[in-house]
């Protein structure tokens, strides 16, 4: 009902795919296909592709994001990248708390919260991922799980900082599996996240928050998902690596 207050955001999550040369090629293919988009378009790419992605997208409407960042500004954290490092490169977006980070790399809501705060303190816009596992959905605790993640992940984030937060609702069972949540399921949980934000902040803050759905969104199902009143965009994995499919999703979000 307040969808008009929010800008739709379609973000690609490239995961661990594409060398720098391949990244340039993919972005060069995507750019002309999305140039008339009436939504924000973001490509979140592996760290090694950031430079080339920033160069390839300069002057276009495609923005670049990273896929994670550490909470400390620097130090003995082998293999990590800090928020000030991303800020120094003028990377505008970063995904935090993706379920693959939580599942394979032991990230918890406490570490996700630290990363969110570091990213925001350094001027980045955060795409914060939350979502339930299949067993949790089957146990009927999706709402509790997602509300708890939202509350812990945003602890200490001010209403002002919240303006640079996008929440991506990504049911873990739908990521990379080809099993999409129904439009009704996606909308129900996005609405619940919005209600949680209204409790934590205010109704106005909740109405202004962009909430994406992510999980096997593709060229065929995007329109129905994006038509839902509380679904303001998508976080796209597999389909973001296919220029025509990604562009079709951007088109669906631009209507």
Q: How many CB atoms lie within 10 A of CB 192?
A: 19
- Strands 210-214, 165-169: parallel, antiparallel or unpaired by DSSP? parallel
> Beta partners for 165?
126
Which of 64, 66, 83, 175 touches ligand PEP by CB under 6 A? 175
Let me know if 72 is a catalytic residue. no
Does 11 participate in binding ligand PEP (rule CB under 6 A)? no
Instruction: Identify which of residues 65 and 214 has a Cβ nearer to ligand PEP in the complex.
Output: 214
Q: Which helix (H) or strand (E) holds 246?
A: helix 243-254
Does 221 participate in binding ligand PEP (rule CB under 6 A)? no
Q: Which residue is nearest to ligand PEP (CB)?
A: 237
- Does residue 79 have a known ligand-binding role? no
- Which of 67, 107, 132, 170 is labelled catalytic? 170
Let me know if 160 is a catalytic residue. no
Which of 130, 172, 236, 250 touches ligand PEP by CB under 6 A? 236
Does 185 participate in binding ligand PEP (rule CB under 6 A)? no
Q: Which helix (H) or strand (E) holds 135?
A: helix 134-138
Which of 217, 248, 252, 253 touches ligand PEP by CB under 6 A? 217
Instruction: Identify which of residues 43 and 175 has a Cβ nearer to ligand PEP in the complex.
Output: 175
How far is the C-alpha of 14 from the C-alpha of 246, rounded, in Å?
A: 11
Residue (of 182, 251, 181) closest to 223 by Cα position: 251
Q: Which stretch binds ligand PEP (CB under 6 A): 72-80, 109-117, 190-198, 235-243?
A: 235-243
Does 220 participate in binding ligand PEP (rule CB under 6 A)? no
Instruction: Identify which of residues 82 and 216 has a Cβ nearer to ligand PEP in the complex.
Output: 216
CA-to-CA separations, 2 to 138, 203, 226, in angstroms, rounded: 31, 11, 14
Does 229 participate in binding ligand PEP (rule CB under 6 A)? no
How far is the C-alpha of 171 from the C-alpha of 181, rounded, in Å?
A: 8
Does 245 participate in binding ligand PEP (rule CB under 6 A)? no
Q: Helix, strand or coil for residue 155?
A: coil
Q: What is the rounded (10 degree) CA torsion for 49, 174, 212, 15?
A: -10
Does 235 participate in binding ligand PEP (rule CB under 6 A)? yes
Burial class (CB within 10 angstroms; exposed 0-12, middle 13-18, buried 19+) of 44: buried
Cα 169-16-124 angle, rounded to 5 deg: 55
Summarize as ranges the residues that interact with ligand PEP (CB under 6 A). Answer: 13, 15, 170, 175-176, 214-217, 235-239
Binding-site annotation, residues for substrate: 13-15, 176, 216, 237-238
Active site residues: 98, 170
């Amino acid at each position: 009902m307040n969808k008009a207050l929010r800008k739709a955001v379609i973000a690609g999550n490239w995961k661990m795919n594409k060398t720098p040369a391949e990244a340039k090629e993919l972005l060069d293919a995507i750019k002309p296909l999305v140039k008339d988009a009436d939504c924000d378009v973001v490509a979140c790419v592996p760290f090694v592709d950031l430079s080339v992605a920033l160069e390839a997208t300069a002057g276009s409407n495609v923005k670049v994001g990273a896929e994670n960042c550490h909470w400390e500004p620097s130090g003995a954290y082998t293999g990590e990248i800090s928020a000030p490092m991303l800020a120094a490169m003028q990377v505008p977006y970063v995904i935090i708390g993706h379920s693959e980070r939580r599942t394979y790399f032991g990230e918890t809501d406490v570490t996700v919260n630290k990363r969110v705060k570091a990213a925001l303190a350094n001027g980045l816009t955060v795409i914060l991922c939350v979502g339930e596992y299949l067993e949790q959905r089957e146990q009927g605790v999706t709402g509790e799980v997602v509300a708890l993640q939202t509350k812990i992940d945003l602890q200490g984030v001010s209403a002002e900082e919240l303006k640079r937060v996008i929440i991506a609702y990504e049911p873990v069972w739908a990521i990379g599996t080809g099993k999409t949540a129904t439009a009704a399921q996606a909308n129900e949980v996005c609405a619940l996240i919005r209600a949680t934000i209204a409790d934590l902040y205010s109704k106005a803050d909740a109405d202004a928050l962009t909430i994406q759905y992510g999980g096997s969104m593709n060229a065929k199902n995007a329109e129905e998902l994006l038509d839902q009143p509380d679904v303001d965009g998508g976080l796209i994995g597999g389909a973001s690596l296919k220029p025509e499919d990604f562009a079709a999703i951007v088109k669906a979000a631009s209507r």
